[in-house]
Structure 1
Amino acid sequence: MRRSSAASASSATSRSSKRHAKRRKKRNRNSIRVQASDNYFFEQFQSGPTVTVLNISTTDPSSSNSAGPAPLSIVRLSINDNPQNLHELYVEALYTIVHKVGRSSLPMPEHQLIRYAQQAFQIDEVSHTMLMDRAKKEKPPIVLLNVQLLEARDLVAKDINGFSDPFTMMGVVPGRRASRVKNMNSQNTMRDENGAIYGDGPYGGVYGADDDFASRQDDGITPPHSPSAFSNSGMRNSPDARGGSASVLQRFGGSFRRKLGGGSRKGAKSPNTAIPCKLIKASSVQYKTLNPKWNEKFQFAVDDVATDKFHLDIWDHDDEETRVLDAVTSLNQISGLKGLGRYFKEVAQSTRAGSNDLLDDFLGSVTIKIKDIPSQGLEDWFLLEKRSERSQVTGHVLLRLWLSTKEERRPTTHEDEDQPEELVDVKQHVELIRQFALSEIRTSGAPVGQFQGHLPEAAVTILHQHAIQGDLTELHQAMCQWLAYNAMINIGISYAFLYDILSNLISKWRPLALDKDHEDLLAESFEAFNESCRRAILDHRSATNKPSSPGGSKTRLELDSFGNMIRCLKLLRESPLYNKCVPFHKEFLTDIADILVESANNYFRSLQLESQSPPRTACDELYILVEGINQACAKFAQFDPIFKSYAEVDYAHHTYQEFDRLLFEYISSEMMSEKSTDLKSMLLKVPEDESTLVAILKVHCVLKEFNSYRKPKARYKMESVDWSSTFDRAISKWLDVAKVKAFARIELACQLDAQIQIQSSNEIRHTSSYVDICHIIEQLMWFWEHVLVKDLLLRTELTEKLVQSVCKIAEYYVDRVMTQLAADGFHGQLQPNLSPAIINIFCAAINNSEQVRRSLAITDKLHLDELSEMHEKKFRKEATWRITLERDLTNCEKYIGEQIESSVDRMVRRQIAQLKKHVFHLAWSPAACPVEQSLKPLTDMLDSELSLVHRTLLHRNFVRVMYSQVNVLLQLLQECVTENAGLEPTFYQRLSEAWNILQDFFHAEGKGISLEAFETIPAHKVLVSQLSLNQMPTIKLIELYYKDLLKEQNDVNECKYGILNLRAYYNSNSQTLVIDVIGAKQVIPLDSNGLSDPFVVMELVPRCRYASQPTARTKVVSKSLNPIFDETFEFHMPPKIFPSSMVHFVVMDHDFLRSNDFAGEAFLDLAEVPGFGQPGMSNTLRQFNLILIHPSRRPRECVNVLGSRKEDKDAQEFVRSLTVTY
């Protein structure tokens, strides 16, 4: 059942929506008919048949590379269209995985890396198996250990001067030796350019085959004996090169000899004691220091990463005449393993023969397992180890170690055959980055522009291994990232991301860090990026003219991308890396300025071609040309901040100046033509035909807009083009024509209104006519804002004419609507029950009128402040015409509002009889009946009436209905109070509570009349005041009367009736109020002689509080306006005074023949008299200067209320006292 109800509701809603859509469609058709009736006279300036400016590209579309491409999503895309090249790159990736080097902090299994590579390259299983076999069959790479000896610290001092002369000797010690001793006698050694010893075999060199030093070390890394024991043999100072280098070689030989079996230091030789040393290198000597700094690099071949070790010794060099490198180089003179063994034996025997002391020159050693070196390299301070417990070794050495490889494979492609190996590694790395990036973009399904270079762990591991095996430094890797992602611009890679990549590359680059081939590769990519940016700047207008998504989000993204492109270009062009790779180029700022000028020129030429096809009149051609330029200038707000922020170039200035020059040249050329249909002939006089008039004014509008983009204080060529006189006359004529066209449209729109049947539904009632009238006013104001009358007097005159036309259009339309409403039966005294059709017609009429009234808010669009200022500055007089204009608009709005309110009042007052009945029921319901219950019939009726129009009226009109109901109820309640005066206060209290409830009803929780708005209704304030007074006790009303008089006296600003001077105090001891009446000044003359005979009467008021107190009176001072009385009066009274207690002074003019005349009165507030409530001040006199007043003649409400209380003795006595004369 519920589903059925829901389905029915949904179906009803659908049918209702369709009906609404049909009515809207019909109303739209009516509006189109109205506009077409005068050939779109008002609309031609915003969009007309002649305006066909297109999005024009200034570059070749096939080569254009927009700064903000559409968000691309990649389904299947690779970097190589050639499957052969893709397979070769895949083999390279597999080869890298198979031959991983170094220890990883987060090791990933090989099969996971292979699986990821297969997915990234999208290789099927058959091809994968074949290519995997190829990768495994390739010759394994040679592993290289790279060592950077940086510095050492806190070494032991070995020399007398307290320093040492440290140097290092280092090499790779093989871990597997048993199988490597074979055939060593046939191996020869050779020397590299640094003096390192290489063997012809896989181990480079072999030490200790016949050397008895081989038996002195065990298999551990035990430091050697000091070779300095042979220092007395004289070999160090021997001029013989071989003898001079013997001590150095002995040190190194002792360190690298290993004892494979057990035995004492002097034990017999063990079999297989030969220790192969594949590579030996020595550093330079740092003299007289304990904290040497070398910063030297070395490279060693590693045979077995799992077992080989790196060993380093630090020695003190004491022979200043022998270079360490020479000592190591002398090994190059030995051929054969036996000769090498005899050489070390000879050195050892000769040095021992002269040994008389045990001086130790050993400074420490370090041994590092190759397998412990992380794949990303290692840089650390290593603790120097001792050779024995008696050795004095301290300090640390700072080393940086990393692994790389050297491949001896054939080139992967034919293109790589003639390229250096380093360049091949770089290109392969670039292609791998791109392939993995494309795979991630494809997998995520997100637009390319959202990719920020985040690759999965597998991809990072493969790239990291490829960089290690290719010996690619961080700089090389940064270069590869730039080359890879720069090549992806054409598919929409983010320029913000590219900026970060470029920043990283520039920050890592140092002079001479890259070889020529790599610099050439970068130069090629930089030039390609520069050209891509140049094309994007040339074509930047059309790039952002493409259709965008709702809300303009695409445009914002495009502008952000374009800005990041400029930022990236500036970073590149101003970097030292770009200057090194591309040495001959323009300055960046000059180049950008030239590109902007070229872009403007290309755009103008394209517009010119567009304006001439198909052939048009001269005015139409000029209009299309300037309109297209304005479209480009409108984008200054978008592009100028970008170029200023990122390129420090004034985009608007360069572009506008070029447009100004080109447009001036075009107009100058056109004005020299002598044809009858040329521009010059059309602008000589105001045309009679409407089409030419509109064409001239359209040219004026676009030229005015073009001039609005100028910068102040700058000079432009178009300033010399002045057609203002022709334009001024054309504008005046157009306004005359527009007024006639507007009234014709009103007639047609009202006629078409009758064809639309207003049906009952939950939507705002209106017809299409108000849309047409508001559209006319809007078009008039748009036209006025887009034209400029140079003649100031004419401009003022036309402004008045425009305002008068708008007001007449609005008033005429409202009159037509109200006349039609009356013709439809809404006139005279309406019946209480109206048909829905009449109610709908009523709602549509007042809604239409209200919409037109709202359209009259045109003051800001008239720019009256600016026009008034110009008028006053030029003519030196006040712009009185502005007051007239504003008064006309105000009167027009007021007139429309009165028409609406008159109709609303007629609608509400049709039920006044029923409302009066409900108010009577409320007033005379039993006191036991709650007010809410008594009020319910009235509120139900009001709610029912409001519900009829709640959904069909505009909010302002709905509130007007509520205001009308409020006014009717206020009238009825006021009549009830007036007709029932003098009743008990509870009667009025009940009416007051009812009115408070009604206020909340009309407030409707903030959706109706605001509570503050009630205070602006005069009838509300009168009713609330009367209800409040009628609820007050009599004494309170009397006190209120005197309080009002005292306030009136205190508020007087001028002395019209004189001043009464007196002194007063209260003696608390005798409980006496003492008053000294001194005199009066400036009493008004009341006698025929221009004088008066004044005397003063005083009494304590209110009299009901002080009935026992007598009335005092001074003597009469004859013929004086400034009498002196100087009399004292005493009133015995308790110290506690009542609220509003005061002394009432009345100044009278004594008359012998007639009654005395009233001269003025004053009041003294007893609360201000010293002594009342102020102990210790009872004897202090205080003088008072009381201004005499004449009470206002208007009746006081409190007196009227008191007079209505016929049964209240005090009230009647007080009213009679007001008529007593003295």
Structure 2
Amino acid sequence: MKPRRTRSAKLRRRQQVQSSDGNFFEKVTAPGDGDVDRDDELYTIKNLSINGDKRQIEALYVEALYTITHKLGQGDVEESQESLYKYVRNAFQGDAALHTALMEKAKQNKPPSVLLNILLLEAKDLIAKDVNGFSDPFAMMGVVPGTRKENQPMTETAHPEKDEQEAKSPRMLHGKKDGLMHRFGGSFRRKVNKKGKPQDTCTIPAKLIKASSVQKKTLNPKWSERFQFAVEDVHRDQFHIDIWDHDDEEQSVLDAVSSLNQITGGLKGIGRYFKEVTQSARANSDDCTDDFLGCINLKLETIPPEGLEQWFTLQPRSEKSKVSGQVKLKIWLSTKEEGRAGDDDETLDVKEHIELLRQFALYEIRQTGQPVRFWDGVYPERAMLILRQHAIQGDLTDVHLAMCRWLAFHSMIHIDISFSLLYKTLQKIIDKWQPLTLDKEEEDMLTDSFSSFDSYCKRMMIEHREKFTPSKRNSGEEFSSLIKCMRALRESPFYQKYLPYKRPFHAHLESLVVKSAEDYIDRTIEYVQDPDPCKELLKLLNIVNVQCSRFLHYAAVIREVARIDYSQLTLNTFDRLLTEYLTSELMSEKKMDLKSQMRISAAQDPPNDDDLIDLMRIHMAFIELRNYRLANRVRVRDESEWYAIFNKGIKKFLEVAKDKALARVNLSCQLDMPISTSSNDMRHSSSHIDICHIIEQFTVFWERVDINDAGLKIEYTSLLVDVICEIVTVYCQKIISGLEAEGFTQELQTFIPSQLLHLLCAAINNCEQVRRSLNITEKLHMDDMSLAYERDASRLNGNHLWKSEIENRLEQCENFICSEIDRIVGLLTGRLLPQMKKHVFHLAWSPTAQLVEDSLKPLTDMLDIELSAVHKNLLHRNFLRVMSAQVSIVVKLLRECVSENVGMEPSFYHRLFEAWHVLVEFFHAGGKGLSMEALETNPDHMKLVKILSLNQTPTEQLIEKYYKDLLKQQNEVSECKYGILNVRAYYNGNAQTLVLDVIGAKQIIALDSNGLSDPFVVIEIIPKFRYPAVPVVKTKVVSKSLNPIFDETFEFHIPPNPPSTAMLHFTVMDHDYLRSNDFAGEAFLELNDVPGFGATGGSTLRQFNLILIQPVSNTKNVLDVLNSRKEDKDAVEFLRSISTVY
């Protein structure tokens, strides 16, 4: 409970600070009071009923039960009848008594007549029977009755052993052995029993036999002919079809078969008639035969509810038959109910199917408990089984089913069914419909629904801002589907035929967009009526801007579907109506018109806060609307007459805001309270949040306003920056003063109480957070101001340094905060200076045998304890400041140690050098502390490392370094300030002799009063300690010349393979007869560059043009270290040698 109470107290404190000035800043920058989204009226099917009257519902209930009772076909997914009955009862919300009564009624109704529908489409790859390589195929088909006796199976094809019995049957005695009756009967006869007793084959065992047309000379015939057969027992009967090659030119057999439907008297009559026709047709026609091409048998009970459409492979009648190819059939079952009430209505099946679809849909939506528009139109398998059965029994085609689904869903639009679902359903009926596929009554139903839906879509489009607000889930997809529905509907062939319209869809939609914008503005103006004209205008502008911010939600869809620029069209309409509104307001005869009220708000003194806030918000709303115009390429209107008022208001706002902000600073510091993430982790106090909030409010305000005069904008920007910097400076001074009042001063003791340490951490963290809030340069948009200033520079004649002045003002403020933080951190770390000095002394004079890490441990332990005490309490930047302060102290102590102990052995300084590197790793802390880059680029670090490096270096290496530095200086020189020395040299390896020719010099400096010199050159091989026996040589003196020619050769006997530091040293001197010679310059030549040494091959003289230099201060540090080694003979000798005057 304690954390919750603390959070509540902090919230009350923050509200107290903000409300102290009436929430002045928050009101100015608060989001506009845009159009409040109306409640998202999500229809859920709970207690809602749209079922119609009770009698119709019960009739539909009975029809559903009747459909299940007389289920046809065998589906992939079988459901028990009981589960289907249960689903219907749930869908109709029927109680047990009602369900039982209606179930009994459904069972009493006469069962429907079952019909088998055959669509003979085509065949392919038939066998050729004629000499021309083709056949003349036709089909004969019928329904073969199943066995009525128990356990007596049906045959699918005849077998050879049964042909003998067939031949002996009475039926065969009446005709030729090869007659049509023999061959066709072979497929349609019933199977004999196991004892060989023949069946009664005097009758044709087919309920109905029908024949197709003959397709001449083809092996791939195409028929597309439909046949229908009555079925007595769908569970036992089977369908049979034969394909024959026709050779009878007179087609007498086909004529006879086609007349079978005229025969009465049952199966026996059909059989006798067919037998007689066959005999007469075959009489005297021995050379005219119909050849068998194959057959198919199909059990009717295997036909699925949705029917079959597939290729069937033709089967032989017996093993002797030779067949090939396939035939494509579409087969489905349907029913015909007789004696139903209302049977005179031709569309009854369609209407029942629509109602079933709707009833099941309402049930499924009710089950989900979700809003209607979230239903995806998917029915469960049990519902689909019932619907498929009803479609089969009603002989509904695909176009009927698409129409029923559309009409069912269309009837639910008033309960907010999804437009996405409507679009998919609409698209399906549009795709399925073809002329003459529906009866006139059905087309009338579809026409009425399309007309109604078109009107509904128009209404939705006009009200789309309320109906499809972005806050609604899936509203973007729904709006897209609405536009697609409108387009699909109006561009469909059905609509164009039955509901013709004049304007194209593009123009129709464009007019709706304009109409929608006009109606919206009219409604909004009525909604925002207010006695105060400023408040009324502000409400109107805010609502318009909210709608403009939603353009993208609608524009992308309309652009994609209709290529209309919704944003531009709507904004043009908004703009036109707003202009009319403003014109009427400005011409108003009210006591206080709009412009007068705005002028008073900008100039009254003392200012009225609410009026000033309203004026600023109106200005920001105008700017936001202008930005929408620019973004959508709408002409920006001239609003200069308004800007004069707004500019005065902005200046007044800054003056008022400054006073209120400083008052908030005082109150915030008075009410300051700690903020901690845990009981021992206090990082801030609450006041910094208030200050950062004020600065944020200022910058948000500044980003949303605009001053049309460039000079005035620069002036106001400078004023804004001054206000912000003053707020921050005053706050930091108060925070630091409060800390000092608690005892954090120069007299700080070594031990700091934890409470005071927490106050310290909170204070410098607050200052650091506020410092970060000064990063507002980008938000001031000074680059844009610069461009505007340059355009108006000739007119302004103002201060061209305004940008740097503003940036400098921010930088000065930031530097002030940093210096205050550093000062406080310096007090924290400086109190330990005596202890740290003691530890450094211990390090310097600890025994050499003791490891450096061990010698440093007292110091690092003390530093670690100090850092650990503040690590969790400080922002990382401030923690690094503490570490940097410690680094500065340690560096200072080590440098003092070096300066107090000059001339010590190099090992003494080497120990300090190692210790410093250990400390660097300590302060780096594996990447958690100071970065290596920050440490290595620290000037104090660089100086210390340089001093320690030189002092730990042996004398010989220092001497070599001295010469290397001079050689580096020579190589890096960019101008010949002291002249050039020309020499040639090579090394004779056999004689181990270095041959040197000193040719001459050019442009050496004048050192005599006559403007000339008397130059000569001193040559030696250095370093001297490596070549102690090699003499120093001189050239002759060339009097009064700045370009002397010496032309002298010298030889030096030295061993091959010189060290890398070995060089020829040339010193150019000016000879003076009365005083000491003057130094004119020096140059160096590495021996390894001379031909004959090392990798430099050849033995010929090579010329070198050496630039003369004079030593700079870079070598002073080396000389100082060498000079400190009074007891080192090599150092003393070297210093003596370089000071020798030749």
**TM-score past 0.5 threshold:** yes
Q: 1:1023 and 1:158, CA in 2 relative to 1: closer, same or farther beyond 3 A?
A: same
2:1118 counterpart residue number: 1198
Structure 1 residue 1187 and structure 2 residue 1116: aligned?
no
SS of aligned partner of 1:1076: strand
1:831 counterpart residue number: 749
1:32 counterpart residue number: 18
Shift of 1:1151: 1.0
Structure 1 residue 1215 and structure 2 residue 1135: aligned?
yes
2:964 counterpart residue number: 1043
Distance in 2, matches of 1:420 and 1:73, equals 31
Q: 1:123 and 1:341, CA in 2 relative to 1: closer, same or farther beyond 3 A?
A: closer
Shift of 1:669: 0.9
Shift of 1:272: 6.5
Shift of 1:28: 0.7
Bigger CA drift: 1143-1152 or 781-790? 781-790
Structure 1 residue 708 and structure 2 residue 638: aligned?
no
2:894 counterpart residue number: 973
Q: 1:966 and 1:328, CA in 2 relative to 1: closer, same or farther beyond 3 A?
A: same
Structure 1 residue 950 and structure 2 residue 879: aligned?
no
2:348 counterpart residue number: 421
Cα deviation code 1:365-424 (max 9, x no counterpart) = 33333234344433333344555677665443222222233333635xx8x984623313
The residue correspondences of 1:701-740 to structure 2 (distance < 5 A) are 701-711=620-630, 714=633, 716=635, 718-719=637-638, 722-740=641-659
2:124 counterpart residue number: 153
Distance in 2, matches of 1:1114 and 1:772, equals 82
Shift of 1:1091: 0.9
Shift of 1:705: 1.2
Conserved 8 A contact 1:228-1:360: no
Conserved 8 A contact 1:151-1:397: yes
Alignment partner of 1:467 out of 380, 386, 391: 391
Structure 1 residue 1066 and structure 2 residue 1037: aligned?
no
Bigger CA drift: 1005-1014 or 958-967? 1005-1014
Distance in 2, matches of 1:268 and 1:74, equals 67
1:688 counterpart residue number: 604
Cα deviation code 1:106-133 (max 9, x no counterpart) = 4444445445555666655555544444
TM-score, normalised via structure 2 length: 0.88
Conserved 8 A contact 1:258-1:273: no
The residue correspondences of 1:927-966 to structure 2 (distance < 5 A) are 927-966=848-887
The residue correspondences of 1:632-671 to structure 2 (distance < 5 A) are 632-671=547-586
The total of aligned residue pairs comes to: 1121
1:296 counterpart residue number: 225
1:237 counterpart residue number: none
Cα deviation code 1:461-502 (max 9, x no counterpart) = 444433333333444444444455556667776655555555
The residue correspondences of 1:792-811 to structure 2 (distance < 5 A) are 792-811=710-729
Alignment partner of 2:1044 out of 1112, 1123, 1132: 1123
Distance in 2, matches of 1:221 and 1:605, equals 91
Structure 1 residue 908 and structure 2 residue 829: aligned?
yes
Conserved 8 A contact 1:1068-1:1178: no
Q: 1:304 and 1:1062, CA in 2 relative to 1: closer, same or farther beyond 3 A?
A: same
TM-score, normalised via structure 1 length: 0.83
2:816 counterpart residue number: 895
Shift of 1:604: 1.9
Structure 1 residue 405 and structure 2 residue 335: aligned?
yes
Distance in 2, matches of 1:526 and 1:572, equals 7
2:114 counterpart residue number: 143
Distance in 1, matches of 2:491 and 2:888, equals 77
Bigger CA drift: 982-991 or 1136-1145? 982-991
SS of aligned partner of 2:819: helix
Distance in 2, matches of 1:714 and 1:497, equals 36
Q: 1:1154 and 1:450, CA in 2 relative to 1: closer, same or farther beyond 3 A?
A: farther
Alignment partner of 2:541 out of 626, 630, 642: 626
Q: 1:216 and 1:768, CA in 2 relative to 1: closer, same or farther beyond 3 A?
A: closer
SS of aligned partner of 1:773: helix
Alignment partner of 1:46 out of 29, 33, 54: 29
Conserved 8 A contact 2:145-2:207: yes
Alignment partner of 1:168 out of 128, 133, 139: 139
Q: 1:576 and 1:1135, CA in 2 relative to 1: closer, same or farther beyond 3 A?
A: farther
Shift of 1:728: 2.6
SS of aligned partner of 1:848: helix
Conserved 8 A contact 1:30-1:752: no
Shift of 1:563: 3.9
1:438 counterpart residue number: 365
Distance in 1, matches of 2:727 and 2:59, equals 81
Gaps of 5+ in 1: 1-13, 180-212, 230-246, 547-553
1:612 counterpart residue number: 529
Conserved 8 A contact 2:256-2:277: no
Q: Which amino acid aligns with 1:844?
A: A
Shift of 1:713: 9.0
Bigger CA drift: 712-721 or 743-752? 712-721
Q: Which amino acid aligns with 2:775?
A: A
Shift of 1:667: 0.7
Distance in 2, matches of 1:150 and 1:831, equals 107
Distance in 2, matches of 1:463 and 1:815, equals 82
SS of aligned partner of 2:629: coil
Gaps of 5+ in 2: 151-162
The residue correspondences of 1:818-1217 to structure 2 (distance < 5 A) are 818-875=736-793, 879-1174=800-1095, 1177-1194=1097-1114, 1196-1217=1116-1137
Conserved 8 A contact 1:225-1:254: no
Alignment partner of 2:508 out of 591, 595, 605: 591
Q: 1:1124 and 1:515, CA in 2 relative to 1: closer, same or farther beyond 3 A?
A: farther
1:7 counterpart residue number: none
Q: Which amino acid aligns with 2:544?
A: I
Conserved 8 A contact 2:361-2:379: no
Distance in 2, matches of 1:579 and 1:167, equals 42
Shift of 1:506: 4.5
Shift of 1:717: 7.6
Q: Which amino acid aligns with 1:24?
A: K
Distance in 2, matches of 1:766 and 1:824, equals 16
Conserved 8 A contact 1:45-1:783: yes
Q: 1:1028 and 1:398, CA in 2 relative to 1: closer, same or farther beyond 3 A?
A: same
Conserved 8 A contact 2:143-2:206: yes
Structure 1 residue 679 and structure 2 residue 600: aligned?
no
Cα deviation code 1:915-935 (max 9, x no counterpart) = 222222333333444434433
Q: 1:1163 and 1:701, CA in 2 relative to 1: closer, same or farther beyond 3 A?
A: same
Shift of 1:1116: 1.2
Bigger CA drift: 670-679 or 81-90? 81-90
Structure 1 residue 513 and structure 2 residue 431: aligned?
no
Distance in 2, matches of 1:1205 and 1:96, equals 118
Shift of 1:940: 3.0
Bigger CA drift: 483-492 or 794-803? 483-492
Bigger CA drift: 480-489 or 1155-1164? 480-489
Q: 1:565 and 1:1187, CA in 2 relative to 1: closer, same or farther beyond 3 A?
A: farther
1:278 counterpart residue number: 207
Distance in 2, matches of 1:871 and 1:306, equals 94
RCO higher in structure (CA 8 A, sep ≥6): 1
Q: Which amino acid aligns with 2:584?
A: S
Q: 1:1139 and 1:323, CA in 2 relative to 1: closer, same or farther beyond 3 A?
A: farther
Conserved 8 A contact 1:1143-1:1165: yes
Q: 1:32 and 1:799, CA in 2 relative to 1: closer, same or farther beyond 3 A?
A: closer
Q: Which amino acid aligns with 2:588?
A: S
Cα root mean square deviation, aligned: 4.0
Distance in 1, matches of 2:542 and 2:438, equals 53
Q: Which amino acid aligns with 1:801?
A: L
SS of aligned partner of 1:42: helix
1:95 counterpart residue number: 66
Conserved 8 A contact 1:148-1:295: yes
Q: Which amino acid aligns with 2:538?
A: Y
Cα deviation code 1:726-752 (max 9, x no counterpart) = 323333343344334444444444444
